[in-house]
Amino acid sequence: MKAWRVLVALSCLWLSGCLVTFKEPIPANESAPIPLLGEWSRTNEWGELLFLDISRAGSNLYKARTYVGSPDNLDSQEEYGFTVAHHGRRWYLSAGLPKKLGANFAIAGFELTTGNELVIYNLDVDRIQQELELGVLRGKVVAMPEGDGVLISSPLETVFAYLDDPANSDVFIEVARYQRIGQ
């Protein structure tokens, strides 16, 4: 299991093979909320216990280390960097994707709940494709190993203005819910 799948919760890859990607990452201009840092766990759809350990990797840069079952499971350990941004009422994260998925960037939403949960949201590919057809966002449909995805070429300011609009809140799909470990 790749950490970018866990971190960005791109479960649509597991389910339908589609993915929304971006040409540019979120710039490292903002610090993540302190409660994001630490250890998280969840049980996936196959009953596997997944762990996510989020820590600082530099100034406004973060890393996520993931593993399945236990930290001793070296075969499942992966580590990836990401950046964050806060726009409107939402937090976003951006992570680079491997070359086989175009070497672009995925952006996901996340929320820290009062119940010590980390909820991760993915973008609905079908809805984003409709917005491309309507000219709301610029981009193109791209072939990926598991199915068609979308590569957005609109500037991030335009993307965030679209995502922050409450009228577009249904573009987000909850894909993972982690529980804080040790609290």
Domain ranges of the chain: 3-180
Question: Per-residue pLDDT tens for 50-71?
Answer: 999 999 999 999 999 888 876 6
Predicted TM-score (pTM) of the model is 0.84
SS3 content of the chain, % helix, strand, coil (to 5): 25, 45, 30
The per-residue pLDDT for 173 is: 92
| pLDDT grade for 9, boundaries at 50, 70 and 90 | very low
Rounded to whole angstroms, how far apart are CA atoms 99 and 174? 26
Question: Per-residue pLDDT tens for 111-160?
Answer: 999 999 999 999 999 999 999 999 999 999 887 766 778 999 999 999 99
The per-residue pLDDT for 18 is: 65
Rounded to whole angstroms, how far apart are CA atoms 97 and 40? 22
Flag whether pLDDT at 14 surpasses 60. no
Lowest model confidence (mean pLDDT) among 81-85, 101-105, 111-115, 142-146: 142-146
Residue 22: CB partners within 8 Å, gap ≥ 6? Answer: 94, 104, 105, 106, 107, 151, 152, 156, 159
The per-residue pLDDT for 147 is: 72
Query: In this structure, are residues 105 and 23 in contact, taking their beta carbons and an 8 Å threshold?
Result: yes
